[in-house]
Amino acid sequence: MDLTKKREYIIRLPRLKQLADPIAFSSLILLILTPDANAYIDPSSGSYFLQIILAGLLGALFALKIYWKRVKSFFTGKDEDSEQSK
Amino acid sequence: MSNQSEGRLAASFRDPSGFIFRRDGILYRQINRAYQAEYDLLMSSGLYKELVDANLMVPHDEVEEAPAQPDTSYRVIQPRPVPFISYPYEWCFSQLKNAALIILDIQKRAMAHDMVLKDASAYNIQFMSGKPILIDTLSFARYFEGRPWVAYRQFCKHFLAPLALMCYRDVRLGQLSRIYIDGVPLDLAGILLPWRTRMSLSLLTHIHLHARSQKHFASKQVTPSAGTMRRQALLGLIDNLESCVGKLNWQPGGTVWADYYDQTNYDEDSLEHKKRLAAAFLERTSAASVWDLGANIGLFSRIAAAGGAFTVAFDFDPAAVEKNYRECVRAKETRILPLVLDLTNPSPGIGWEHRERLSLLERAPADAVLALALIHHLAIGNNVSFDRVAQFFGKIGRTLIIEFIPKDDSQVKRMLASREDIFPEYTRDEFEKAFSRIFTIEQTAAIENSKRILYLMKHR
């Protein structure tokens, strides 16, 4: 099986639904990462998988948030990021 | 502190990157060669400077001190000492929340320098000058695009789960961290949290589905392959955790003790007189460190701090400690550390061999202990004899400022109204006799318009 294709498949949206479905969830078993050289705590497979499953959604939400901030700052004339960092 | 032993610290053994050791009373951190590349990157990337400048990480000096374990050593550093080590189960809600937020802030800043936090332990955070700060210099690893956050589970267990439980169920559930040293198990948090927390996308994923995912993969054999989480997604995860933690709130109030000074029948003049006496006694002690026991919202802790002493303000009521902490933040107070502590069951030594996290006694003694409006709660409320109270105070303080509240005081009368008076020894004479076995009474003063007496005592 082509892993890249599989990865693309899981990054499409109905991921939360898949998580609730044990069969679809099991199909993600092959998508584990190489262990971190400096990691001394156990990240746990479940935590790793959850992040991978959520990756697309979280990345998209984050991109949307940044985009929305830019739109807002265009109209208000305020740079929200620099406001926050003050 | 004087009760702590020399050599490698018992809590410093998990991370092979290095460890903390004490020599001649000074704390050092040995960085092992295994961590050389990461440490050099931390220092050369500008991340260390950025974090120290932003008051997010403890500063250190590289020193020529001989390593404790030369065969593995790369470097020895001397971090700025923390005035009092405290633990997440001693923090109020906002202290834990602010600690969680700085972890996420540090993670975001680290990623901008191509590094990540490789752990997110609440024990790596300590309060210095009123602010939470990362004390573990070895917490950083190089970031490789594609990899999920290795500390995600630890963050959820150490911070998100207890905060959600405190916010949605009961603030006292913060004490679960004392039982579960590596954080609250997510499946337990999921069971204890109300069903409506599943309506929050963040809590649904980071707690409920996270617990389910852990259970699902617990017994599975997995095969390593390539990474699959892009930088944007990881930043999204951190951003989502940040907004999730930011939305968790808890309002103190409604408890007897948090409103103590509003409800007490103290005469305004006698309270002012007591404040003046306490200030004068504290000045006489020249204490650099003060433990204010039963500090409530920190009225007298502020007097001690104003005199220059670093003051730990202990109280068993999470609402009073929350109010105290909020006031410290508002007033940018740097010398007061409010903590939740039940004196009748103080923090024990926990973890491996009982030595990973120090008991209260192991963090003693303070130069001065303040025990105001407290003795009746211990002696009558908890049936502890004067002898035992004196012995305990003798272990935690070099000097003691203590208020004696006689039986005909309205507070004591209220306590005895609903129970049998089995305390014939609860008299001023017996009090002085018991405390004189451990302390010498240096000064006494009657508090105006009351029958209460303030004592200044010195350890024999």
Q: Same structural domain for residues B322 and B240? A: no
Residue numbers in B near A33 (CB within 8 A): 146-148, 224-228
Compute φ and ψ for B401, nearest 5 degrees: -115, 110
User: How deeply is B276 buried, as exposed, middle or buried, from its count of CB atoms within 10 A (0-12, 13-18, 19+)?
Assistant: middle
Q: Name the domain boundary from B19, B48, B79.
A: B79
3-state DSSP: chain B helix, strand, coil percent, rounded to 5?
45, 20, 35
| Same-domain status, B113 and B51 | no
Are residues B273 and B363 located together in one domain of the fold? Answer: yes
Q: What would the two tokens of residue B402 be? A: 């203590």
- Nearest-neighbour CA in chain B from A3: distance (Å): 9
What is the structure's pLDDT at A27? 45
Helices B93-112 and B231-247: crossing angle in degrees, nearest 10, is 160
Residue A17 and residue B60: Cα distance in Å, rounded? 48
Cβ distance of B228 and A31 shorter than 8 Å: yes
pLDDT of residue B258: 60
**Nearest residue, CB atoms, B148 vs list A20, A25, A51:** A51
Does residue B2 belong to any structural domain of this protein? no
Report whether B341 contacts B361 (CB < 8 A). no
Residues 6+ away with beta carbon under 8 Å from B207 = B156, B160, B161, B164, B186, B189, B190, B193, B197
Tell me the nearest-neighbour CA distance from B50 into chain A, angstroms: 13
Contact B153 A43 (CB under 8 A): yes
- Both B240 and B146 in one domain: the answer is yes
Among the partner-chain residues B215, B223, B237, the one whose CB lies closest to the CB of A58 is B237
Q: Is B219 on the interface with A (CB under 8 A)?
A: no
pLDDT band at B261 (very low <50, low <70, confident <90, very high): low
| CB < 8 Å to B244, chain A | none
Do B355 and B405 share a domain, yes or no? Answer: yes
Of residues B141, B220, B230, nearest to A59 (C-beta): B230
DSSP for A10-71, written as a single string: HHSSTHHHHHHSHHHHHTTTT-EEPPPTT--S---HHHHHHHHHHHHHHHHHHHHHHHHHHH
Least confident of A68-82, B308-322, B438-452: A68-82
Domain membership of residue A80 as a residue range: 3-33+40-85
Structure-block tokens of residue A23:
């069969």
Residue B10 is predicted with a pLDDT of 78
Would an 8 Å CB–CB cutoff place B36 in contact with chain A? no
Q: Are residues B34 and B94 located together in one domain of the fold?
A: no
The residue ranking higher by pLDDT, A35 or B359, is: B359
Give residue-wise pLDDT tens across range B36-80: 999 999 999 999 999 999 999 999 999 999 999 999 999 999 999
Place of tokens 């590349």: B37
Instruction: Name which of A8, A16, A41 to mutate to probe chain B: the one with the most chain B Cβ atoms within 10 A of its Cβ.
Output: A41
Residues of A in contact with B144 (CB under 8 A): 36
Same domain, B19 and B124: no
- The pLDDT-based confidence of B121 (bands split at 50, 70, 90) is very high
pLDDT of res. A25: 47
Among the ranges given (A8-22, B312-326, B391-405), the one the predictor scored with the smallest mean pLDDT: A8-22
Count of structural domains, chain A: 1
Check whether residue B14 and residue B93 sit in a common domain.
no
- Residues of chain A numbered 42-61 and touching chain B (CB < 8 Å): 43-61
The string of pLDDT tens digits covering residues B14-31 is 888 999 999 999 999 999
Asked if pLDDT for residue B374 goes beyond 90, the answer is: yes
B172, B30: one domain: no
pLDDT at B362 (0 to 100): 95
pLDDT in tens, B314-339: 999 999 999 999 999 999 999 999 99
Which amino acid makes up residue A25?
A: F
CATH number of the domain enclosing B327: 3.40.50.150
Collapse the DSSP code of B296 into the 3-class scheme (helix H, G, I; strand E, B; otherwise coil) and give the result.
coil
- Mean pLDDT over all residues of chain B? 93
Average of pLDDT values for B336-362? 96
Looking at the structure, tell me whether residues B416 and B287 fall in a common domain: yes
Q: CA B387, CA B389: separation in Å to the nearest integer?
A: 6
Domain that holds residue B20: 7-79
Residue-averaged pLDDT of chain A: 64
B328 within domain boundaries: yes
Strand B289-293 to B131-134 pairing:
unpaired
Cα atoms found within 13 Å of the Cα of residue B30, Cβ hemisphere only: 26
pLDDT band at B359 (very low <50, low <70, confident <90, very high): very high
Residue B229 is nearest to which of A52, A62, A65, comparing CB atoms? Answer: A52
CATH code assigned at B237? 1.10.510
Amino acid B227: pLDDT? 53
Distance (Å, whole) CA B398 – CA B439: 9
Contact B236 A63 (CB under 8 A): yes
- Examine the domain organization and report whether B314 and B437 are in the same domain: yes
Query: Are residues B211 and B283 located together in one domain of the fold?
Result: no
Both tokens of B250, joined, read 């808890």
Cis peptide before B252 (omega within 30 of 0): no
Transcribe B207-247 into DSSP letters.
IIIHHHHHHHHTT----EE---B-HHHHHHHHHHHHHHHHH
Rounded to whole angstroms, the Cα distance separating B174 from B315 reads: 15
Above 60 in pLDDT, residue B125? yes
| Number of folded domains that form chain B | 3
Q: Is the pLDDT of residue A20 over 70?
A: no
Do the domain assignments include residue B84?
A: no
